[in-house]
Structure 1
Amino acid sequence: MSGAEIRHIVFDIGKVLIHYDPHIPYRRLIPDDTERDWFFANVCTHDWNLEQDRGRGWEEAEALLVEKFPEREAHIRAFRRYWHEMVPHAYADSVAVLEALVDRGHDVTMLTNFAPDTFRKARELYPFLDISRGVTVSGEVGLIKPDVAIYERHARDFGLEPARTLFIDDTVVNVEGAREAGWNAVRFTDAATLRRDLAAHGIEA
Structure 2
Amino acid sequence: MSSIDIRHIVFDIGKVLIHYDPHLPYCRIIPDEAERNWFFANVCTQDWNVEQDRGRSWKEAEALLIQNHPEREEHIRAFRRHWHEMVPHAYVGTVSIMESLITDGRDVTMLTNFASDTFREAQQLYPFLTLPRGVTVSGDVGLIKPDVAIYSAHAKTFDLIPEATLFIDDSMANVEGAKAAGWQAVHFTDPQKLRVDLAAYGVHS
Q: Distance in 2 between matches of 1:47 and 1:101?
A: 34
2:136 aligned counterpart, secondary structure: strand
Which residue matches 2:32?
32
Which residue matches 2:173?
173
2:63 aligned counterpart, secondary structure: helix
Residues 59-98 of structure 1 mapped to structure 2, 5 A cutoff: 59-98=59-98
1:143 aligned counterpart, secondary structure: coil
Amino acid at match of 1:89: H
Q: Distance in 2 between matches of 1:8 and 1:2?
A: 15
Q: Distance in 2 between matches of 1:166 and 1:89?
A: 25
Amino acid at match of 2:30: I
Residues 117-128 of structure 1 mapped to structure 2, 5 A cutoff: 117-128=117-128
Amino acid at match of 1:177: G
1:133 aligned counterpart, secondary structure: coil
- Structure 1 vs Structure 2 CA RMSD: 0.6
Residues 1-205 of structure 1 mapped to structure 2, 5 A cutoff: 2-205=2-205
Q: Distance in 1 between matches of 2:2 and 2:117?
A: 36
> What does the per-residue CA deviation read over 1:23-50, in whole Å, with 9 as the maximum and x for residues that have no partner?
0000000001111001000000001000
Identity within the alignment, %: 70
Alpha-carbon shift at residue 3 of structure 1 (Å): 3.8
1:185 aligned counterpart, secondary structure: strand
2:185 aligned counterpart, secondary structure: strand
Q: Distance in 2 between matches of 1:194 and 1:126?
A: 21
1:204 aligned counterpart, secondary structure: coil
- Any conservation in 2 of the 1:2–1:184 contact (CA below 8 Å)? no
Q: Distance in 2 between matches of 1:2 and 1:36?
A: 46
Alpha-carbon shift at residue 2 of structure 1 (Å): 4.3
Q: Distance in 2 between matches of 1:37 and 1:197?
A: 35
- Any conservation in 2 of the 1:55–1:115 contact (CA below 8 Å)? yes
Q: Distance in 2 between matches of 1:70 and 1:186?
A: 43
Q: Distance in 2 between matches of 1:198 and 1:120?
A: 28
- Any conservation in 2 of the 1:109–1:132 contact (CA below 8 Å)? yes
1:93 aligned counterpart, secondary structure: helix
Q: Distance in 1 between matches of 2:47 and 2:186?
A: 24
Q: Distance in 2 between matches of 1:155 and 1:2?
A: 21
Q: Distance in 1 between matches of 2:99 and 2:23?
A: 29
- Any conservation in 2 of the 1:112–1:138 contact (CA below 8 Å)? yes
Amino acid at match of 1:117: D
Alpha-carbon shift at residue 151 of structure 1 (Å): 0.0
Unaligned runs of 5+ in 2: none
1:85 aligned counterpart, secondary structure: helix
2:101 aligned counterpart, secondary structure: helix
